[in-house]
Structure 1
Amino acid sequence: MSDRQRRGESERAQQRRSELIATGRKLFANTSYDALSMDDIAQHAGVAKGLIYYYFKSKRGYYLAIIEDSVLELVSLASGGGDLPTTQRVRRTVEAYLRFAEFNEAAYRTIVTGGVGFDTEVQAIRDTVRTGLVATVVEGAYGREEIPTIAELALLGWLSSVEWLTLEWLEHREELTREIPRDLLVRMLRHTLDTIAEFAPECPAPPPDPDFHPYTGR
């Protein structure tokens, strides 16, 4: 077999793998891990069950690949808008985060809580989200990558609030529009940045955006 043929087969295999992940993301968007069998998945994908085992080894391996793909999308969505003013960029980041959680609820719950078993693989997936989101906030707030440990701890504390507030909001989103938790989390981040400035003067808080009018309930 020539190198060209090998490359062609490799590209087709990668495309098939990506197609299976895309199908899985639709199936698991709002369906729990235990609710679908491999037979169900194969039927929806229109492939033999053995093909899924060939690419992903197991149902759990398939699900983790789907979650990892979802994580890449979440981090990519949240990190966009680099040309916006700081407050608008933060608001866009939080908006993208909440929107992802709303339309990928089952996957989001897995990312945050470890829905297929809390182990090193699941923890690594969650760490990828946390690292990406904290880096986005740091770049937007300070225009650099390195910050003191105390500043990083404060931002991780805020991010923990983001995760659990989002989980609670998903249970009440029929009565609370997405703008409410979004503006609440942006306001909480403002307080976090002000507190960081007190403990780490080398990290001054960005000036407030006079055009930002958070949700008032009216």
Structure 2
Amino acid sequence: MQKTNTTLNPSVCCEVPHTKRGHERRLALLISATELFLENGYDAVSLDDIVNHAGGSKAAIYKYFGNKEGLFKAICDYRRELFFKNMCVAFNSHQHDLRTYLIQTLIGFYQKITCTENAAFMRLVIDRSQRDPELAVYLHERGPEYVQKTIACALQQATQQGQIQCREPLHSAVMYFGILRNLEWKVIMGVPITLDHAEIIDHIEYCVDVFLNGHQIH
């Protein structure tokens, strides 16, 4: 039985693998295509190139992804899951101290964006997004918007429990991620980061303290 994935082209139907071998074949295509896109750029890579690199046939690409665009979107979904795994978890006031939670989330985010492969992939995504507005919206909803909402929920929960005062949690969440915006853009543009690890931690802790100060209950 086939399942229709949410793709940029709703007329394209993709089959979800139901066997271990099918999952392995799909993952191999994702990984091979990622390597080729990062090495040569999206436009320079053909489906034949991907098949020659990964093995198999183009029929598998059509079967699991629909087309080249669907394959790239699936790669973005796969890498997003890896990027945010264990990094932006839901806040639980019974398990987390808010300050520690906010600091650790930013440290995790910084470690992920400074990974060489992640930085290269972010550049690739920005390039593709400029040419495909629908893809840009799709990736924003499942990337920046997703993590902002996660932090907004944490701020809302802390507000409800009387720990802080935050009237606009989503606005504050956007402000919170602005703490690393300069460093993030340096990474994307290939500008050297001159701060060492200890200085990065000091920067994050200082900014989180200022952020929480602005949300004190008066």
Q: TM-score range by the shorter chain?
A: 0.5 to 0.7
Determine helix, strand or coil for the equivalent of 1:78.
coil
The 2-side partners of 1:93 and 1:165 are apart by 15
By percentage of residues, which structure has more helix? 1
The separation in 2 between residues aligned to 1:24 and 1:62, in whole angstroms, is 8
The whole-number CA distance in structure 2 between the counterparts of 1:154 and 1:181 is 21
Whether 1:43 and 2:52 are equivalent positions in the alignment is yes
Per-residue CA distance 1:118-138 (angstroms, 9 max, x = gap): 423322222222343234434
Aligned with 1:109 (options 116, 120, 123)? 123
Check the 8 A contact 1:29/1:105 in 2, yes or no: no
Letter in 2 for 1:65: A
Corresponding residue of 2:13: none
Whole-angstrom distance in 2 between the partners of 1:25 and 1:87: 36
Out of 91, 107, 110, the position equivalent to 1:98 is: 110
More off after superposition, 119-128 vs 140-149: 140-149
* Cα distance, 1:174 vs structure 2: 6.0
* Structure 1 equivalent of residue 135 of structure 2: 121
Q: Structure 2: how far apart are the matches of 1:91 and 1:157?
A: 14
Match of 2:206 in 1: 187
Contact in 1 for aligned 2:38/2:121 (Cα 8 Å): yes
User: What's the Cα RMSD here?
Assistant: 3.6
CA distance 1:87–1:149, change in 2 (3 Å): closer
Runs of 5+ consecutive residues of structure 1 not aligned to the other structure: 1-8, 205-218
Within-5 A mapping of 1:126-205? 126-138=140-152, 143=157, 150-160=168-178, 162-163=180-181, 165-170=183-188, 171-173=190-192, 175-177=194-196, 180-181=199-200, 183-197=202-216, 201=217
Question: Which residue is equivalent to 1:70?
Answer: 79
Residues 79 and 93, structure 1, Cα contact 8 Å, conserved in 2: yes
1:86 aligns with 2:98: yes
Displacement after TM superposition at 1:31 (Å): 5.9
| Equivalent pair of 1:114/1:122 in contact (CA under 8 Å) | no
Residues 166 and 30 of structure 1: CA distance in aligned 2, closer, same or farther (over 3 Å) = farther
Contact in 2 for aligned 1:21/1:66 (Cα 8 Å): yes
**Matched residue, 1:207:** none
Structure-1-length-normalised TM-score = 0.66
Report the CA distance between 1:66 and its aligned residue. Answer: 0.6
**When the two structures are aligned, how many residues end up with a matched partner?**
191
* Structure 2 stretches lacking a partner, 5+ long: 1-16
